[in-house]
Amino acid sequence: MPDTIEPRVLKGFRDYLPEAELARLALTHKLERVFGSFGFVPIDTPALEYAEILLGKGGGETDKQVYRFKDHGDRDVALRFDLTVPFARFMAEHVDALYLPFRRYHMAKVWRGENTQRGRYREFMQCDFDIVGTDSAAADADIILTIAEAMRALEVGEVRIRVNHRGLFNRFLAVRGVAAKSVAVLRTVDKLEKIGAEETERLLTADIGPENARAVLEFIHPEADFSSTLEKMYSACGETDPEALAARNRLAQVRDIAEAAGAAASLVLDPSITRGLDYYTGLVVETSLADMPQIGSVCSGGRYNELASLYTTKKLPGVGASIGLDRLLAALEALNRSGDRPEVTKLLILNLEDTAQTQPQLQAQAQRAAAALRRQGIAVEVFPEAKKLQVQYAYAERKGIPFALLLDGKAAEAGKWPLRNLASRSTRDFSSLEEVADALNEPRSPDAKKPAGSGSDA
């Protein structure tokens, strides 16, 4: 016995077996269609970049999670850990070859050497979409509408798209005289759902004192509807500040556009949404599923003033969001109450022992039929060997193939094409391949409406 190497993947990495990969492809294709319907175009960037580009000049010590190494030319390189930094580099490099506003999406893998004990993967897909080169409310609204349409296309049920505006929060903190603590406050508030109101108040009190902590908790509590929440927030900002007024008007306009486009029902103004990261400067957004709130946000983002300031002096304001593909895939699997699995092959042409024809003849005949059916848009495979029938049926069962053609020389000579529904175990003879194709292309299963006399239970 040869000395084999144990087949295994690295911790935190995983294979996608066909069912998982089919589900992933179905998801990304739906998203591509949605992005396309809003004019977003796809890009891709290298998996490997200069470490300096990905981490910035001083990033050496801080980014322990990054896969970083010396390449053959002794260059300091790293695997991308998100799609935002490569996009910033991309825009700085190519802005003159593009058009602004530039709407792009990017679905690709990223790598982080994270602690896998938290259930995180070290390789995972990200899906980002952004509109860069405009500071308009229309672009903010477009991101919201795209999220709404993406969730509708993915059939994840009702969603809550929760928005907020950094300008209001910042102005509120300034009015309370604690603007200097804004980063700490935003980070604490961002954890509200995870840690609860009591712990949030304790942390806030430690940073800004008990009175301010209570004021923050009052500020971040949503009112009955978008407008009353907005007016409460605005009045807490003192109603005199032009930045606060602009933020209020921006949120109102985003709401109006969402209403005009039929997406207002999902839109919630939630002052507790802050998106911990401090590079957001305007709108911030998080999306949760009404049926599965516990999985957290499935799409988050916001507006930033400067996408690419590390690489260019050009001003590139933008707004965008990131879809959590892994969370959505997990949600879709959990929500799939019917237990449907994606169908690949519609029809298996069985390989029968045959007295009328040789195996090679039968194989040629099977492939002729398969080619004809594929031209009718049917996914067909030919079982390649004359194995026992139960082996071939078991194969069809394992692969989820719904129909089988029991092709043999005798049946073909008699002008019969016996089509078997593998779920109902009934077989029906058709008199031509065209009829088989028509039956398989019907939305309903072919044996649901047998003409009298032509059906036979096998």
Nearer CB in complex with a second copy: 251/273? 251
Neighbour count for residue 457 (Cβ, 10 Å): 9
- What is the nearest approach in angstroms of a second copy to the Cβ of residue 99? 4
Question: To the nearest whole angstrom, how small is the minimum distance from the Cβ of residue 92 to a second copy?
Answer: 4
Question: In the bound complex, what is the minimum distance in angstroms from residue 17's beta carbon to a second copy?
Answer: 6
CB of 188 to a second copy, least distance (A): 29
Rounded least distance, CB 48 to a second copy, Å: 6
Cβ within 8 Å of residue 332, ≥6 positions away: 23, 27, 154, 155, 156
- Which residues, 6 or more positions from 358, have their beta carbon under 8 angstroms from its beta carbon? none
Comparing CB distances to a second copy, the nearer of 260 and 265 is: 260
Nearest to 229 by CA among 283, 270, 274, 288: 270
How far is it, in rounded angstroms, from Cα 307 to Cα 303? 10
Q: Minimum distance from CB of 251 to a second copy (Å)?
A: 12
Output 232 or 346, the one with its CB closest to a second copy.
346
Going by their DSSP bridges, the two strands 347-349 and 76-79 should be labelled as: unpaired
Nearer to a second copy, 341 or 425 (CB): 341
Return the number of the residue (9 or 452) whose C-beta is nearest a second copy: 9
Chain centre to alpha carbon of residue 392: 36
Could you tell me the smallest distance in angstroms from the CB atom of residue 115 to a second copy?
Answer: 10
Transcribe 337-402 into DSSP letters. TT-------SEEE-----SSS-HHHHHHHHHHHHHHHHHTT--EEE--S---HHHHHHHHHHHT--
From the CB of 225, what's the least distance to a second copy, in Å? 18
Chain centre distance of CA 121: 16
Of 301, 313, 244, the closest CA to residue 274 belongs to 301
CB of 19 or CB of 291, closer to a second copy: 19
Which two structure tokens, joined as six digits, stand for 18?
A: 């066909």
Nearer to a second copy, 59 or 296 (CB): 59
DSSP string spanning 126-193? EEEEEEES---HHHHHHHHHHHHHHHHHTT---EEEEEEEHHHHHHHHHHTT-GGGHHHHHHHHHTHH
Number of alpha carbons in the 13 Å side-chain half-sphere of residue 48: 7
Contact 404, 347 (CB under 8 A): yes
Please give the distance of CA 242 from its chain centroid, rounded to a whole number: 38
Nearest to a second copy of 88, 189 (CB atom): 88
Does a cis peptide bond (omega within 30 degrees of 0) precede residue 18?
Answer: no
Between 225 and 256, name the residue whose CB sits nearer to a second copy: 256
Least distance to a second copy, CB of residue 15, Å = 5
